[in-house]
Chains A and B, each alone.
Chain A
């Protein structure tokens, strides 16, 4: 584990080799983020105003909601994740990507798949399988695109010049191998050679939960493990905690899916094993949380300046929160109340949005200037992006968690008519739409910033854009480096 001093100039050529594919993936991701956000608002409005646009079959709730889920999961989150994965893998292997255009082609194929899939769902061809709603002609397209990405990530690792395999790479490797296994096996068993009975539900949730925990989570954690110590310039707290966190995740997460079937007609042991494995998640989550927290210890003031760090640390805290919440939900006692309520919806968004999406925003803020050679145009817009999304997901979670608890308690009371309970959730659903609008506003600001960066719009900045900056007098203040941080962001 000798610490090798690296020739720093290689960084430039490595970053340059990732430019085309990573920009393709990021640009598409931002496009799908905005698309997915509008689908989300549409679906959310229909929850409290069911007549809204209900006469157009393409825009009915049953189509808009899965279209939203798939647009953000496979369009936004997966594409942003693959961009980060490729960039990180090249950097940490200290190897240029070979034939980067091939990966850009993979990005194109992936986009074709998502587009066909979303249009397919909206036109009524949804497969009806949760998390795999794309019509049956889409998965092979995604698998083809992913094959290029997966193989190329491994090829890049084979080319590595760096002796030490850093913890981020372990997680990237997990994601690279777990995702194709999950996605192809589940599609075979659910879509092409459908199994029947309760096994179908078990496999469905094996996939649905693992897509979060063994595809998005490892990429998000890899990014956090790289960028937190990178931005503050300090080693990660403990190699031993890193090991414990990674292997405990690899060991326990895969069992978690069946806790979605509590109360369902599945053998008791399946649910019990899942509940126990979910409880065991306290080990990987605790290890990662302590590791990141102790790395940050004494450096929290950097959150004032660095957009990257602010988003990533927010995301990491959400990771801890959502995991602890998920553990509690996986036990029958609480699940009896929260199952089939808005509580679960709040939990899912805290994970995929509060944790993963916020980490991805942080990554994009870090990576983009290194690829485009252009600094972010406006510190104020980054601040607006952060506060709208942070407050948006914060209020979304708080409102739906409370509303869901109330709903769950009332649903378990057999004296209350169902319609009364339904009507009582309406104020919460309006607030949910409001939170959604807040987040979408942030996404539009972010998309504008992203486009400005891509197209080199705005004033040329010579220093990284930090949150302490005052946009009005960039020229005069750019020379004044913010305290402590120097130029790192």
Chain B
């Protein structure tokens, strides 16, 4: 600013006059000047009210959108439609379908590679899970097979198998074991009751000193079901329709 006001600058003698287009006498000036109109100036029309209105609405909608889809500005929320954290979260939580979870676990945890997609197992080595009396029968025995594994001869559907069922107790959580067993009990024509997370927890508690794999004889000796503590809040279990 100071430079513009300093004396001796040639245009200071011109200041104060109003420029009206090419108002000077240009006749004597050099041709390049004649070809141009004056440098642009500012007009001072007001901002149209309708425009200000639209902009206001846009800002308001922007705020709404931000509030709704910002995932509470958390670094660990990647899905903008995830319900907001807080009071409403529980209400919106959908019950987990154990069948769907179990089906996924059956495919991803290695079950399918021995017991097969049709649940028929492999003759002589891997017993079937489809129609199996072990699957549909005692939940306590079934839980133990998955928790600690099973070794040695086992008779299923009048056939003897000798495979090696690995333990999943350390690999899967209670609700995952419950889900995959529920899936087994309700797939391929099996129609047994769902197995709850609580009953797995009880089985785990009852067998906490049993670190080795079971054999068929030990399992057959178990005749009572595990004692399940009264559940405070039981997650919804859905039978297969």
* Partner-B contacts on A (CB < 8 A): 1-12, 15, 91-92, 94, 158-164, 166-167, 225-226, 228-233, 235-242, 244, 265-269, 271-273, 275-276, 279-280, 282-283, 286-287, 290, 294-295, 332, 370, 373, 464, 487-489
**B229, CB-defined interface residue at 8 Å:** no
Asked whether, in the complex, the Cβ of B26 is within 8 Å of the Cβ of A8, the reply is yes
A7 partner residues in chain B, CB cutoff 8 A: 10-11, 14
Inter-chain contact A267/B43, CB cutoff 8 Å: no
- Judge whether B36 and A5 touch: CB under 8 Å: no
* Contacts A160-B3, A162-B4, A269-B70 given; does A236 touch B42 at CB 8 Å: yes
Give per-residue flags for B28-62: 1 if the beta carbon is below 8 A from chain A beta carbons, else 0: 01101111111111111111100100110011011
CB-nearest residue of chain A to B24: A8
Contact between chains at B3 and A161 (CB < 8 Å): yes
The answer, yes or no, to whether B222 is at the interface (CB within 8 Å) is no
Q: A158-B3, A161-B3, A272-B70 are in contact. Are A267 and B42 (CB under 8 A)?
A: no
Give me the interface of B with A, judged by CB distance under 8 Å.
Answer: 1, 3-5, 9-11, 14-19, 21-24, 26, 29-30, 32-48, 51, 54-55, 58-59, 61-62, 65-66, 69-80, 82
Question: Which residues from chain B contact A15 at a C-beta distance below 8 Å?
Answer: 32
The reply to whether A166 and B73 contact each other, CB–CB distance below 8 Å, is: no
CB-CB under 8 A from B39, the residues of chain A are: 6, 91-92, 166, 230
Q: How far is the CB of A279 from chain B (nearest CB, A)?
A: 6
Closest-by-CB residue of A relative to B17 is A5
Q: Beyond the given A8-B24, A231-B37, A487-B35, could you list 11 further A-B residue pairs with CB under 8 A, ordered by the A residue number? A: A161-B4, A166-B39, A230-B36, A236-B43, A268-B69, A268-B79, A269-B74, A276-B66, A282-B58, A290-B48, A294-B45
- Contact assessment for B11 and A4 in the assembled complex, using a CB-CB cutoff below 8 Å: yes
| CB-CB under 8 A for A8 and B42, given A268-B71, A268-B80, A279-B58 | no
Known: A166-B40, A237-B45, A240-B44. Is A267-B35 also a contact (CB below 8 A)?
no
For the complex, would chain B's binding face be called helix, strand, loop or mixed by DSSP majority?
A: loop
Which residues of chain B are near A159, meaning CB under 8 Å? 3
B residues less than 8 Å from A241 (CB atoms): 45, 47
Given contacts A272-B69, A464-B35, A488-B37, contact A235 B43 (CB under 8 A): yes
Would A332 and B80 count as touching, CB distance under 8 A?
yes
- Report the separation of the CA atoms of residues A235 and B20 in the bound assembly, to the nearest whole angstrom: 11
Q: CA–CA, A1 to B44, complex, Å?
A: 11
Task: Give chain B residues whose Cβ lies under 8 Å from the Cβ of A225.
Answer: 40
Interchain CA distance A6-B11 in the complex, whole Å: 6
Using A9-B29, A488-B36 as known contacts, say yes or no to A272 and B54 having CB atoms under 8 A apart: no
Contact A242 B3 (CB under 8 A): no
State A75–B43 Cα separation when bound (angstroms).
36
Cβ–Cβ contact A268 & B78, under 8 A: yes
Docked Cα-Cα span, A229 to B39, in Å, equals 8
Inter-chain CA distance A237–B17, complex, in Å, is 22
B42 touches A279 (CB 8 A): no
- Knowing A8-B33, A273-B66, A276-B62 are in contact, say whether A240-B3 is a contact too (CB < 8 A): no
Q: Is A11 touching B71 in the complex (CB atoms < 8 A)?
A: no
Pair A9/B33 contact, Cβ less than 8 Å:
yes
Q: How far is the CB of A222 from chain B (nearest CB, A)?
A: 11
Q: Check if B76 sits within 8 Å of A267, measured CB to CB.
A: yes
The interface residues of chain A lying within 8 Å CB-to-CB of B36 are 11, 230, 488
Partner pick for B65 among A5, A91, A160, A279, CB 8 A cutoff: A279
Whether the pair B11, A265 counts as a contact (CB closer than 8 A) is: no
Contact call B71/A267, Cβ cutoff below 8 A: yes
From A167, A240, A271, give the contact of B47 (CB < 8 A).
A240
A230 to B42, Cβ gap below 8 A?
no
Contact A163 B41 (CB under 8 A): no
Residues in chain B near residue A267, CB distance under 8 A: 71, 74-78
B54 touches A286 (CB 8 A): yes
A489 to B30, CA, bound (A): 17
Q: In the complex, what residues of B have CB within 8 A of residue A244's CB?
A: 47
Closest approach, in angstroms, between the C-beta of B64 and any C-beta of chain A?
A: 9
Assembled-state Cα–Cα distance A271/B65 (Å): 12
Residue contact A238 to B71, C-beta cutoff 8 Å: no
Distance (Å) between the CB of A238 and the closest chain B CB?
Answer: 4
Q: Are B79 and A12 in contact, with the CB atoms below 8 A? A: no
B42 to A272, Cβ gap below 8 A?
no
Closest 5 CB pairs of A and B: A233-B37, A229-B40, A268-B71, A268-B80, A239-B42
Chain B residues near A233 (CB-CB < 8 A): 21-22, 37-38
| Complex interface: chain A residues within 8 A of B38 (CB) | 6, 233
Write the chain A residue with the least CB distance to B55.
Answer: A283
A297 and B131 alpha carbons, distance in the complex (Å): 83
CB distance B4 to A239 under 8 Å? no
Say yes or no: A272 contacts B80, CB within 8 Å: yes
The distance in angstroms between the C-alpha atoms of A280 and B73, with both chains bound, is 19
List 17 A–B pairs whose Cβ atoms lie within 8 Å, in order of A's numbering.
A2-B16, A4-B16, A4-B19, A5-B17, A6-B14, A6-B38, A229-B41, A230-B39, A233-B38, A237-B43, A239-B42, A272-B70, A272-B80, A273-B66, A275-B69, A276-B62, A276-B66
Q: Which chain B residue lies CB-closest to A6?
A: B11
A431 to chain B, nearest CB (A): 36
Residue in B closest to A264 when the chains form the complex, CB atoms: B78
Question: Does B71 lie within 8 Å of A3, measured CB to CB?
Answer: no
CB distance from A155 to the nearest CB of B (A): 12
The smallest C-beta distance from A225 to any residue of chain B, in angstroms, reads 7
Task: Flag if B65 contacts A161 (CB, 8 Å).
Answer: no
Chain B residue with minimal CB distance to A327? B58
A305 → chain B closest CB, angstroms = 13
Q: How far is the CB of B58 from chain A (nearest CB, A)?
A: 5
B51 with A269: CB separation less than 8 A: no
Q: Which B residues lie within 8 Å of A158 (CB)? A: 3
Contact A268 B62 (CB under 8 A): no
Query: Are A238 and B45 interface neighbours, CB within 8 A?
Result: yes
Query: B71, A286: Cβ atoms under 8 Å?
Result: no
Most central of B10, B17, B45, B77 by chain A CB within 10 Å: B45
Nearest B residue (CB) for A282: B58
